[in-house]
Structure 1
Amino acid sequence: MKKLKKLYYPEKREVIKLYDSFLINRGFSRNQPSSFYSINSECFQEYFYILAREMSINSMDDYSNVKHFIRKMTSDLSRPKKVKSRFNIFMEVKNYSDYLIENRDQWHEDFDRIFYKINSVFIELYEEYHQKGELSYLSHGDLHNKNILIDSENEIHIIDYDEVCYAPKDFDLIIFIFRFYKGRTKKINSKTLKIILDELEKENLEIKYLKFYIIKVILQKKFLEYSGRLSPDDILVDNWKGWYEDFLTLVLHNDK
Protein backbone atom coordinates (compact mmCIF):
# COMPACT_ATOMS: atom_id res chain seq x y z
CA MET A 1 0.00 0.00 0.00
CA LYS A 2 1.29 3.47 -0.92
CA LYS A 3 0.83 6.72 0.98
CA LEU A 4 1.25 10.38 0.09
CA LYS A 5 2.95 12.89 2.37
CA LYS A 6 3.05 16.59 1.72
CA LEU A 7 6.59 17.98 1.80
CA TYR A 8 6.85 20.90 4.18
CA TYR A 9 9.91 22.18 2.32
CA PRO A 10 9.27 21.38 -1.38
CA GLU A 11 12.54 23.05 -2.38
CA LYS A 12 14.30 20.07 -0.77
CA ARG A 13 12.84 17.51 -3.14
CA GLU A 14 16.11 16.69 -4.94
CA VAL A 15 18.18 16.44 -1.77
CA ILE A 16 15.47 14.25 -0.21
CA LYS A 17 15.61 11.96 -3.25
CA LEU A 18 19.37 11.75 -2.81
CA TYR A 19 19.00 10.82 0.86
CA ASP A 20 16.33 8.23 0.03
CA SER A 21 18.66 6.66 -2.55
CA PHE A 22 21.56 6.59 -0.10
CA LEU A 23 19.50 4.70 2.49
CA ILE A 24 18.27 2.16 -0.05
CA ASN A 25 21.55 1.64 -1.92
CA ARG A 26 23.55 1.14 1.28
CA GLY A 27 21.02 -1.24 2.88
CA PHE A 28 19.72 1.16 5.54
CA SER A 29 16.22 0.96 4.04
CA ARG A 30 14.40 -2.01 2.52
CA ASN A 31 11.69 0.17 1.06
CA GLN A 32 11.46 1.03 -2.62
CA PRO A 33 12.46 4.52 -3.81
CA SER A 34 9.89 7.24 -3.21
CA SER A 35 8.15 9.07 -6.03
CA PHE A 36 7.48 12.79 -5.97
CA TYR A 37 4.53 14.65 -7.43
CA SER A 38 3.35 18.23 -7.73
CA ILE A 39 -0.37 18.57 -7.05
CA ASN A 40 -2.02 22.02 -7.10
CA SER A 41 1.39 23.69 -6.73
CA GLU A 42 2.22 21.57 -3.69
CA CYS A 43 4.85 18.82 -3.55
CA PHE A 44 4.10 15.31 -2.27
CA GLN A 45 6.23 12.27 -1.55
CA GLU A 46 4.69 8.89 -2.38
CA TYR A 47 6.12 5.97 -0.43
CA PHE A 48 5.22 2.41 0.52
CA TYR A 49 3.47 2.04 3.88
CA ILE A 50 5.68 0.43 6.54
CA LEU A 51 3.97 -1.99 8.93
CA ALA A 52 5.94 -1.27 12.08
CA ARG A 53 5.71 0.28 15.52
CA GLU A 54 7.13 3.60 16.68
CA MET A 55 10.37 3.29 18.57
CA SER A 56 9.72 3.28 22.33
CA ILE A 57 11.39 5.88 24.54
CA ASN A 58 10.86 3.45 27.43
CA SER A 59 12.97 0.67 25.93
CA MET A 60 16.73 0.72 26.40
CA ASP A 61 16.94 -2.23 24.00
CA ASP A 62 15.34 -0.07 21.30
CA TYR A 63 17.74 2.72 22.20
CA SER A 64 20.84 0.53 21.95
CA ASN A 65 19.76 -1.07 18.66
CA VAL A 66 18.83 2.23 17.02
CA LYS A 67 21.97 3.97 18.27
CA HIS A 68 24.07 1.20 16.70
CA PHE A 69 22.10 1.58 13.45
CA ILE A 70 22.61 5.35 13.33
CA ARG A 71 26.30 5.01 14.17
CA LYS A 72 26.76 2.67 11.21
CA MET A 73 24.79 5.01 8.95
CA THR A 74 26.74 8.13 9.94
CA SER A 75 30.05 6.27 9.57
CA ASP A 76 29.30 5.15 6.01
CA LEU A 77 31.99 6.75 3.85
CA SER A 78 29.73 6.74 0.77
CA ARG A 79 27.26 9.15 2.37
CA PRO A 80 26.86 12.21 0.10
CA LYS A 81 28.90 15.17 1.33
CA LYS A 82 29.70 18.74 0.35
CA VAL A 83 31.76 21.67 1.53
CA LYS A 84 29.08 24.19 0.52
CA SER A 85 25.35 23.79 -0.14
CA ARG A 86 22.28 25.97 0.26
CA PHE A 87 20.91 23.07 2.28
CA ASN A 88 23.76 23.21 4.77
CA ILE A 89 22.13 23.28 8.21
CA PHE A 90 24.18 26.31 9.25
CA MET A 91 22.95 28.25 6.22
CA GLU A 92 19.36 27.25 6.96
CA VAL A 93 19.60 28.52 10.54
CA LYS A 94 21.35 31.71 9.34
CA ASN A 95 18.33 32.30 7.08
CA TYR A 96 15.98 31.87 10.08
CA SER A 97 18.09 34.31 12.08
CA ASP A 98 18.22 36.90 9.29
CA TYR A 99 14.46 36.69 8.73
CA LEU A 100 13.75 37.17 12.43
CA ILE A 101 16.02 40.21 12.66
CA GLU A 102 14.38 41.75 9.58
CA ASN A 103 10.94 41.22 11.16
CA ARG A 104 11.77 42.29 14.68
CA ASP A 105 8.61 44.40 14.87
CA GLN A 106 6.60 41.16 15.15
CA TRP A 107 8.48 39.77 18.15
CA HIS A 108 6.75 39.08 21.43
CA GLU A 109 8.41 40.57 24.50
CA ASP A 110 9.50 37.18 25.86
CA PHE A 111 11.29 36.30 22.60
CA ASP A 112 12.90 39.74 22.46
CA ARG A 113 14.60 39.02 25.78
CA ILE A 114 16.30 35.83 24.67
CA PHE A 115 16.96 36.14 20.93
CA TYR A 116 20.33 37.88 21.02
CA LYS A 117 21.64 35.54 23.70
CA ILE A 118 21.05 32.41 21.64
CA ASN A 119 21.87 34.11 18.34
CA SER A 120 25.32 35.22 19.56
CA VAL A 121 26.14 31.59 20.39
CA PHE A 122 24.87 30.51 16.97
CA ILE A 123 26.95 33.14 15.12
CA GLU A 124 30.08 31.99 16.96
CA LEU A 125 29.43 28.36 15.92
CA TYR A 126 28.48 29.43 12.38
CA GLU A 127 31.70 31.37 11.87
CA GLU A 128 33.86 28.62 13.36
CA TYR A 129 32.35 25.94 11.14
CA HIS A 130 32.69 27.94 7.94
CA GLN A 131 36.23 29.14 8.69
CA LYS A 132 37.31 25.49 8.93
CA GLY A 133 35.73 24.71 5.55
CA GLU A 134 34.75 21.24 6.76
CA LEU A 135 32.71 18.74 4.81
CA SER A 136 29.01 18.54 5.58
CA TYR A 137 27.29 15.16 5.32
CA LEU A 138 23.78 14.46 4.09
CA SER A 139 21.74 13.88 7.24
CA HIS A 140 18.17 13.22 8.30
CA GLY A 141 18.19 16.27 10.57
CA ASP A 142 15.32 15.22 12.85
CA LEU A 143 16.03 11.73 14.18
CA HIS A 144 13.81 11.25 17.21
CA ASN A 145 11.71 8.24 18.18
CA LYS A 146 8.58 9.31 16.25
CA ASN A 147 10.60 9.24 13.03
CA ILE A 148 12.01 5.77 13.73
CA LEU A 149 9.94 2.62 13.20
CA ILE A 150 10.77 -0.96 14.21
CA ASP A 151 9.02 -3.88 12.53
CA SER A 152 8.24 -7.40 13.77
CA GLU A 153 11.67 -8.62 12.63
CA ASN A 154 13.39 -5.78 14.54
CA GLU A 155 14.34 -4.05 11.30
CA ILE A 156 14.73 -0.29 11.73
CA HIS A 157 13.03 2.15 9.34
CA ILE A 158 13.57 5.91 9.12
CA ILE A 159 10.67 8.12 8.02
CA ASP A 160 9.80 11.81 7.57
CA TYR A 161 12.52 13.46 5.48
CA ASP A 162 11.38 17.08 5.77
CA GLU A 163 14.48 18.17 7.68
CA VAL A 164 17.09 16.47 5.45
CA CYS A 165 20.18 18.67 5.24
CA TYR A 166 23.97 18.74 5.02
CA ALA A 167 25.34 18.84 8.55
CA PRO A 168 28.34 17.90 10.71
CA LYS A 169 29.17 14.20 10.36
CA ASP A 170 27.58 12.96 13.60
CA PHE A 171 24.71 15.44 13.78
CA ASP A 172 22.01 12.74 13.55
CA LEU A 173 23.55 10.69 16.36
CA ILE A 174 23.75 13.75 18.62
CA ILE A 175 20.10 14.58 17.92
CA PHE A 176 19.01 10.99 18.55
CA ILE A 177 20.76 10.72 21.93
CA PHE A 178 19.46 14.08 23.10
CA ARG A 179 15.87 13.58 21.92
CA PHE A 180 15.65 10.07 23.41
CA TYR A 181 16.48 11.24 26.92
CA LYS A 182 14.60 14.53 26.54
CA GLY A 183 11.54 12.50 25.51
CA ARG A 184 11.73 10.51 28.74
CA THR A 185 11.78 13.58 31.02
CA LYS A 186 10.12 16.23 28.76
CA LYS A 187 12.74 18.76 29.76
CA ILE A 188 16.36 18.43 30.76
CA ASN A 189 17.25 18.34 34.44
CA SER A 190 20.75 17.93 35.89
CA LYS A 191 20.45 14.14 36.18
CA THR A 192 19.26 13.72 32.59
CA LEU A 193 21.90 16.14 31.32
CA LYS A 194 24.66 14.11 32.96
CA ILE A 195 23.41 10.96 31.21
CA ILE A 196 23.31 12.78 27.86
CA LEU A 197 26.79 14.26 28.28
CA ASP A 198 28.20 10.90 29.35
CA GLU A 199 26.69 9.35 26.22
CA LEU A 200 28.14 12.08 24.00
CA GLU A 201 31.56 11.60 25.56
CA LYS A 202 31.37 7.83 25.13
CA GLU A 203 30.55 8.29 21.44
CA ASN A 204 33.22 11.01 21.07
CA LEU A 205 30.61 13.60 20.05
CA GLU A 206 30.97 17.37 20.42
CA ILE A 207 28.67 19.18 22.83
CA LYS A 208 28.81 22.37 20.75
CA TYR A 209 26.66 20.71 18.09
CA LEU A 210 24.05 19.87 20.70
CA LYS A 211 23.90 23.57 21.62
CA PHE A 212 23.60 24.36 17.94
CA TYR A 213 20.74 21.89 17.48
CA ILE A 214 18.72 23.40 20.35
CA ILE A 215 19.26 26.91 18.94
CA LYS A 216 18.18 25.66 15.50
CA VAL A 217 14.92 24.29 16.92
CA ILE A 218 14.11 27.56 18.73
CA LEU A 219 14.88 29.82 15.77
CA GLN A 220 13.04 27.55 13.34
CA LYS A 221 9.95 27.49 15.54
CA LYS A 222 9.90 31.28 15.78
CA PHE A 223 10.58 31.64 12.04
CA LEU A 224 7.60 29.40 11.26
CA GLU A 225 5.42 31.40 13.64
CA TYR A 226 6.40 34.88 12.46
CA SER A 227 6.32 33.93 8.77
CA GLY A 228 2.71 32.78 9.17
CA ARG A 229 3.39 29.08 8.57
CA LEU A 230 1.85 27.95 11.84
CA SER A 231 -1.82 27.94 12.71
CA PRO A 232 -3.00 29.61 15.95
CA ASP A 233 -3.47 26.12 17.44
CA ASP A 234 0.11 25.17 16.54
CA ILE A 235 1.42 28.33 18.22
CA LEU A 236 -0.52 27.58 21.40
CA VAL A 237 1.00 24.12 21.80
CA ASP A 238 4.50 25.14 20.69
CA ASN A 239 6.96 24.59 23.54
CA TRP A 240 9.86 26.80 22.43
CA LYS A 241 10.30 28.12 25.99
CA GLY A 242 10.98 24.59 27.18
CA TRP A 243 13.71 24.31 24.55
CA TYR A 244 15.20 27.56 25.80
CA GLU A 245 15.24 26.15 29.35
CA ASP A 246 17.15 23.16 27.97
CA PHE A 247 19.60 25.55 26.31
CA LEU A 248 20.19 27.42 29.59
CA THR A 249 20.70 24.17 31.50
CA LEU A 250 23.26 23.05 28.94
CA VAL A 251 25.10 26.39 28.84
CA LEU A 252 25.19 26.74 32.64
CA HIS A 253 26.65 23.24 32.96
CA ASN A 254 29.18 23.89 30.20
CA ASP A 255 30.32 27.15 31.83
CA LYS A 256 31.11 25.50 35.17
Structure 2
Amino acid sequence: MPVSTELVDSHIAVVTVDFPPVNAVPVAGWFAIADAVRTAPTDLGARVVVLRAEGRGFNAGVDIKEMQRSVGFTALLEANRGCHAAFKAIYECATPVIAAVNGFCLGGGVGLVGNCDSVVASDDAYFGVPEVDRGALGAATHLSRLVPQHLMRTMYYTSRTITAQRLFDFGSVVEVVPREELDAAALALAREIAAKDPRVIRAAKEALNGIDPVDVNTSYRFEQGFTFELNLAGVADEHRDEFVRTGENLTA
Protein backbone atom coordinates (compact mmCIF):
# COMPACT_ATOMS: atom_id res chain seq x y z
CA MET A 1 0.00 0.00 0.00
CA PRO A 2 1.30 3.50 -0.81
CA VAL A 3 0.32 4.64 2.71
CA SER A 4 0.56 1.95 5.38
CA THR A 5 0.50 1.83 9.18
CA GLU A 6 2.36 -0.54 11.49
CA LEU A 7 1.91 -0.67 15.25
CA VAL A 8 5.24 -0.94 17.10
CA ASP A 9 5.60 -1.74 20.80
CA SER A 10 1.78 -1.66 21.10
CA HIS A 11 1.71 2.15 21.40
CA ILE A 12 3.63 3.62 18.44
CA ALA A 13 1.94 3.92 15.03
CA VAL A 14 4.49 4.10 12.19
CA VAL A 15 2.87 5.60 9.08
CA THR A 16 4.92 4.95 5.93
CA VAL A 17 4.47 6.80 2.63
CA ASP A 18 5.69 5.07 -0.53
CA PHE A 19 4.89 6.59 -3.94
CA PRO A 20 7.80 5.67 -6.26
CA PRO A 21 9.93 7.03 -7.73
CA VAL A 22 10.17 10.25 -5.68
CA ASN A 23 7.16 10.32 -3.35
CA ALA A 24 5.32 12.96 -5.37
CA VAL A 25 1.96 12.38 -3.72
CA PRO A 26 -1.26 12.13 -5.77
CA VAL A 27 -4.56 13.52 -4.54
CA ALA A 28 -5.69 10.23 -3.00
CA GLY A 29 -2.39 9.95 -1.19
CA TRP A 30 -2.83 13.17 0.77
CA PHE A 31 -6.23 12.02 2.01
CA ALA A 32 -4.74 8.62 2.86
CA ILE A 33 -2.03 10.27 4.97
CA ALA A 34 -4.71 12.32 6.74
CA ASP A 35 -6.79 9.23 7.49
CA ALA A 36 -3.80 7.21 8.74
CA VAL A 37 -2.61 9.91 11.13
CA ARG A 38 -6.08 10.89 12.31
CA THR A 39 -7.19 7.36 13.16
CA ALA A 40 -3.97 6.06 14.72
CA PRO A 41 -4.77 7.26 18.28
CA THR A 42 -8.44 6.23 18.18
CA ASP A 43 -8.39 2.98 16.20
CA LEU A 44 -4.97 1.67 17.22
CA GLY A 45 -4.55 3.24 20.64
CA ALA A 46 -1.31 4.90 19.54
CA ARG A 47 0.38 7.22 22.01
CA VAL A 48 2.79 8.54 19.36
CA VAL A 49 2.75 8.59 15.55
CA VAL A 50 5.93 8.38 13.47
CA LEU A 51 5.61 9.62 9.88
CA ARG A 52 8.28 8.23 7.55
CA ALA A 53 8.83 7.41 3.88
CA GLU A 54 10.43 4.79 1.71
CA GLY A 55 12.63 5.53 -1.27
CA ARG A 56 14.94 8.32 -2.41
CA GLY A 57 13.36 11.06 -0.34
CA PHE A 58 10.71 11.86 2.21
CA ASN A 59 8.38 13.86 -0.04
CA ALA A 60 8.53 15.71 -3.38
CA GLY A 61 5.24 17.55 -2.94
CA VAL A 62 2.11 17.13 -5.03
CA ASP A 63 2.05 14.97 -8.14
CA ILE A 64 2.21 17.73 -10.76
CA LYS A 65 1.98 15.29 -13.65
CA GLU A 66 -1.33 14.00 -12.27
CA MET A 67 -2.58 17.56 -12.09
CA GLN A 68 -1.57 18.34 -15.67
CA ARG A 69 -3.34 15.23 -16.97
CA SER A 70 -6.64 16.50 -15.58
CA VAL A 71 -9.09 18.89 -17.23
CA GLY A 72 -10.21 22.08 -15.54
CA PHE A 73 -9.47 22.77 -11.89
CA THR A 74 -10.74 19.55 -10.29
CA ALA A 75 -7.30 18.10 -9.58
CA LEU A 76 -6.03 21.41 -8.21
CA LEU A 77 -9.01 21.78 -5.88
CA GLU A 78 -8.66 18.19 -4.67
CA ALA A 79 -4.90 18.56 -4.18
CA ASN A 80 -5.54 21.73 -2.14
CA ARG A 81 -8.13 19.93 -0.03
CA GLY A 82 -5.95 16.85 0.35
CA CYS A 83 -2.89 18.80 1.47
CA HIS A 84 -4.98 20.82 3.90
CA ALA A 85 -6.49 17.62 5.30
CA ALA A 86 -3.09 15.95 5.75
CA PHE A 87 -1.46 18.97 7.38
CA LYS A 88 -4.49 19.51 9.63
CA ALA A 89 -4.62 15.86 10.68
CA ILE A 90 -1.01 16.02 11.84
CA TYR A 91 -1.46 19.27 13.69
CA GLU A 92 -4.70 18.16 15.37
CA CYS A 93 -3.67 14.55 15.98
CA ALA A 94 -4.51 13.76 19.60
CA THR A 95 -0.98 12.47 20.15
CA PRO A 96 2.46 13.82 19.19
CA VAL A 97 3.62 13.18 15.61
CA ILE A 98 7.31 12.70 14.85
CA ALA A 99 8.64 13.15 11.31
CA ALA A 100 11.53 10.90 10.23
CA VAL A 101 12.89 12.72 7.18
CA ASN A 102 15.25 11.18 4.64
CA GLY A 103 16.62 12.83 1.51
CA PHE A 104 14.52 15.60 -0.03
CA CYS A 105 11.54 17.18 1.72
CA LEU A 106 9.94 19.68 -0.65
CA GLY A 107 6.70 21.62 -1.05
CA GLY A 108 3.93 19.61 0.56
CA GLY A 109 6.58 17.65 2.44
CA VAL A 110 7.46 20.82 4.34
CA GLY A 111 3.74 21.21 5.05
CA LEU A 112 3.71 17.79 6.68
CA VAL A 113 6.92 18.25 8.65
CA GLY A 114 6.18 21.82 9.70
CA ASN A 115 3.04 20.66 11.50
CA CYS A 116 4.75 17.71 13.23
CA ASP A 117 5.66 17.97 16.90
CA SER A 118 9.25 16.76 16.49
CA VAL A 119 11.56 16.19 13.52
CA VAL A 120 14.39 13.68 13.22
CA ALA A 121 16.36 13.73 9.97
CA SER A 122 19.06 11.83 8.15
CA ASP A 123 22.31 13.62 7.37
CA ASP A 124 21.41 13.75 3.66
CA ALA A 125 18.05 15.42 4.27
CA TYR A 126 17.23 18.86 2.90
CA PHE A 127 14.11 21.00 2.89
CA GLY A 128 12.61 23.60 0.58
CA VAL A 129 9.48 25.14 -0.89
CA PRO A 130 9.91 25.49 -4.68
CA GLU A 131 6.31 26.63 -5.15
CA VAL A 132 7.15 29.90 -6.92
CA ASP A 133 8.95 27.91 -9.63
CA ARG A 134 5.68 26.04 -10.21
CA GLY A 135 3.52 29.16 -10.42
CA ALA A 136 1.96 28.41 -7.04
CA LEU A 137 2.13 29.41 -3.38
CA GLY A 138 1.75 27.48 -0.15
CA ALA A 139 3.54 25.98 2.87
CA ALA A 140 5.11 29.26 3.96
CA THR A 141 2.97 28.75 7.05
CA HIS A 142 4.88 25.55 7.76
CA LEU A 143 8.32 26.66 6.59
CA SER A 144 8.07 29.55 9.07
CA ARG A 145 7.84 26.95 11.85
CA LEU A 146 11.24 25.59 10.79
CA VAL A 147 13.32 28.70 10.01
CA PRO A 148 13.42 32.37 11.10
CA GLN A 149 11.16 34.85 9.33
CA HIS A 150 13.63 36.58 7.01
CA LEU A 151 15.29 33.33 5.99
CA MET A 152 11.83 31.90 5.27
CA ARG A 153 11.08 34.81 2.96
CA THR A 154 14.40 34.46 1.14
CA MET A 155 13.92 30.71 0.72
CA TYR A 156 10.37 31.28 -0.51
CA TYR A 157 11.31 33.89 -3.12
CA THR A 158 14.37 31.99 -4.38
CA SER A 159 13.29 28.33 -3.97
CA ARG A 160 16.54 27.68 -2.11
CA THR A 161 16.80 24.62 0.10
CA ILE A 162 18.25 24.16 3.57
CA THR A 163 20.03 21.18 5.10
CA ALA A 164 18.89 19.18 8.10
CA GLN A 165 22.08 20.21 9.88
CA ARG A 166 21.20 23.91 9.60
CA LEU A 167 17.70 23.17 10.91
CA PHE A 168 19.32 21.31 13.80
CA ASP A 169 21.33 24.46 14.54
CA PHE A 170 18.05 26.44 14.58
CA GLY A 171 16.51 23.86 16.94
CA SER A 172 13.71 22.81 14.59
CA VAL A 173 15.26 19.39 13.91
CA VAL A 174 15.93 17.55 17.14
CA GLU A 175 18.51 15.08 15.82
CA VAL A 176 20.51 14.43 12.63
CA VAL A 177 21.76 10.89 12.10
CA PRO A 178 23.15 8.69 9.30
CA ARG A 179 20.32 7.46 7.08
CA GLU A 180 20.68 3.87 8.24
CA GLU A 181 20.02 5.05 11.82
CA LEU A 182 17.03 7.25 11.04
CA ASP A 183 14.23 4.84 11.87
CA ALA A 184 15.91 3.77 15.10
CA ALA A 185 16.40 7.39 16.17
CA ALA A 186 12.78 8.27 15.48
CA LEU A 187 11.55 5.20 17.35
CA ALA A 188 13.82 5.98 20.31
CA LEU A 189 12.23 9.42 20.63
CA ALA A 190 8.77 7.92 20.16
CA ARG A 191 9.40 5.38 22.91
CA GLU A 192 10.55 8.13 25.27
CA ILE A 193 7.28 10.00 24.73
CA ALA A 194 5.10 6.87 24.71
CA ALA A 195 6.45 5.94 28.15
CA LYS A 196 4.84 9.04 29.66
CA ASP A 197 1.29 9.13 31.01
CA PRO A 198 -0.78 9.33 27.78
CA ARG A 199 -3.45 11.43 29.51
CA VAL A 200 -0.87 14.10 30.29
CA ILE A 201 0.72 13.96 26.84
CA ARG A 202 -2.64 14.38 25.10
CA ALA A 203 -3.42 17.35 27.32
CA ALA A 204 0.01 18.79 26.58
CA LYS A 205 -0.53 18.48 22.82
CA GLU A 206 -3.84 20.34 23.04
CA ALA A 207 -2.36 22.98 25.33
CA LEU A 208 0.64 23.60 23.07
CA ASN A 209 -1.61 23.97 20.03
CA GLY A 210 -3.72 26.41 22.01
CA ILE A 211 -0.81 28.76 22.66
CA ASP A 212 0.56 28.74 19.09
CA PRO A 213 0.90 32.34 17.84
CA VAL A 214 -0.45 31.43 14.36
CA ASP A 215 -3.56 29.46 13.43
CA VAL A 216 -1.84 27.15 10.94
CA ASN A 217 -5.06 25.79 9.44
CA THR A 218 -6.46 29.22 8.55
CA SER A 219 -3.05 30.57 7.54
CA TYR A 220 -2.49 27.77 5.02
CA ARG A 221 -5.97 28.14 3.53
CA PHE A 222 -5.24 31.85 3.05
CA GLU A 223 -2.09 30.94 1.09
CA GLN A 224 -4.03 28.48 -1.05
CA GLY A 225 -6.33 31.27 -2.21
CA PHE A 226 -3.41 32.94 -3.99
CA THR A 227 -2.47 29.65 -5.63
CA PHE A 228 -5.97 29.46 -7.06
CA GLU A 229 -5.72 33.05 -8.31
CA LEU A 230 -2.52 32.15 -10.17
CA ASN A 231 -4.30 29.17 -11.71
CA LEU A 232 -7.24 31.27 -12.85
CA ALA A 233 -4.78 33.70 -14.45
CA GLY A 234 -3.11 30.85 -16.34
CA VAL A 235 0.28 31.45 -14.72
CA ALA A 236 0.44 28.14 -12.85
CA ASP A 237 -0.37 26.10 -15.96
CA GLU A 238 2.56 27.66 -17.81
CA HIS A 239 4.97 26.66 -15.07
CA ARG A 240 3.55 23.17 -14.57
CA ASP A 241 3.61 22.50 -18.32
CA GLU A 242 7.29 23.47 -18.36
CA PHE A 243 7.92 21.16 -15.41
CA VAL A 244 6.34 18.24 -17.27
CA ARG A 245 8.06 19.15 -20.56
CA THR A 246 11.54 19.24 -19.08
CA GLY A 247 11.03 15.94 -17.31
CA GLU A 248 12.06 17.13 -13.88
CA ASN A 249 11.49 14.32 -11.41
CA LEU A 250 12.66 15.58 -8.05
CA THR A 251 11.85 19.14 -7.06
CA ALA A 252 8.08 18.81 -7.40
Bin of the TM-score, shorter chain as denominator length: under 0.3
With structure 2 as the length reference, what TM-score do the two structures score? 0.26
TM-score under structure 1 length normalisation: 0.26
Report which of the two structures shows the higher radius of gyration computed on alpha carbons.
Answer: 1
